[in-house]
Amino acid sequence: MSTLSEVYAQYPLKVDDIIPLDFDSVVTVPDSHAWPISDGFESNDWLSIPTIDLKDPDAAKLIGHACETWGVFQVVNHDIPLNLLDEVESEARQLFSLPTTQKLKALRSPGGVTGYGLARISSFFNKFMWHEGFTIIGSPLDHARELWPNDYQKFCDIMVDGQKKMEELAITIMHNILEYLAVSEEEMKWLGSPGVASTALQLNSYPLCPDPNRAIGLAPHTDNSLFTILHQRISGLQIFKEGVGWGFVQPVTGALVVNVGDLLHILSNARFPSVVHRVVMKEAKQRFSVAFFYSPPADFNLDPLGLSFGQIPLYRSVTVAEYFGRKAKDLEKHLLRLEFSGESMKSISIFMLVFA
């Protein structure tokens, strides 16, 4: 497979697992979206995750340590103009404020990656999530024309600019991570080459919910990517930390959240945890966020890097495309199994192509 879009085309979803609820038409949470109270969404703890200044001379050390101990951190002085982040969110607001019938004109196809629809993980859960999203890879021109037949260029320009700046930041973060792992950049020759990495920009909307204790924005999961860069203004993102439980990642003005994904977990030979996270309906208002997923090219071979002499790799070599395909086929069996007991999680077992 030459692209991740071609990978996902092999695992088409049912249309019912793509179409979001018409949130404007409901006054109560329907049974299809009502999650058990025992899933413990009521946690109100704030986690003191690290905030790192990218201009700090010790940024590589601080980032590596945060990845190792938390699997998540926030960055400031990241060189993405705040007005660009404002513009991206403003365009997202306009998109999600369109009538449902209009948004459905840009619906993601069953075997597609881009466009309007539910989170792809929705098909693995018995209940639906209180969420609608819009996924962009490169130019969103085709879908934007469906949404705004005569006024789509501004949306396209801002989204393309946003992806460019996010990728520049991702490259900077990856350089710091490789420095921390003492890995030669020769082993990641694709890094920094324009248009080579596998990337996606995800616009998220979590509409105002009539009963937040019965709904969930995004169910617990890990991201496929090396890491994800997130812009959030309103709280709702929670991560699970062993020995602590669920806690909120507090929005910091001007900061971006970075969380470790599955591929970086593999490359680090499990030094960096792929952080389990979810979105809960905490605030009595609509919540928007913007996520940028950063991964190697689809044909890149994933092998644990930076191993010391005699250290045994925990994972066998696998291409990015193969890993994405396995997770697309069976999230629960092959990657993530979560069992809840009130506010605690009894077990987290992550299957990552471990050596037999």
Q: What is the mean pLDDT of the chain?
A: 88
Please give the share of the chain, as a percent, with pLDDT higher than 70: 90
Q: Which CATH class is domain 4-341?
A: mainly beta
Do 255 and 50 touch, CB atoms closer than 8 A?
Answer: no
Confidence of residue 281 (pLDDT cuts 50, 70, 90): confident
The confidence score (pLDDT) of residue 146 equals 96
Active site residues: 287
The confidence score (pLDDT) of residue 42 equals 62
Dig out the tokens for 147 from the structure. 């949404």
Q: What is the DSSP letter of 135?
A: E
Distance CA(66)–CA(260), nearest Å, equals 10
Q: Residue 77 pLDDT > 80, yes or no? A: yes
Over residues 288-341, the pLDDT tens digits come to 999 999 999 999 998 898 787 678 888 888 899 999 998 888 765 443 332 233
In angstroms, the Cα distances linking 128 to 1, 165, 219, 233 are: 30, 33, 9, 24
Q: Angle at which helices 153-180 and 59-69 pack, to 10 degrees?
A: 90
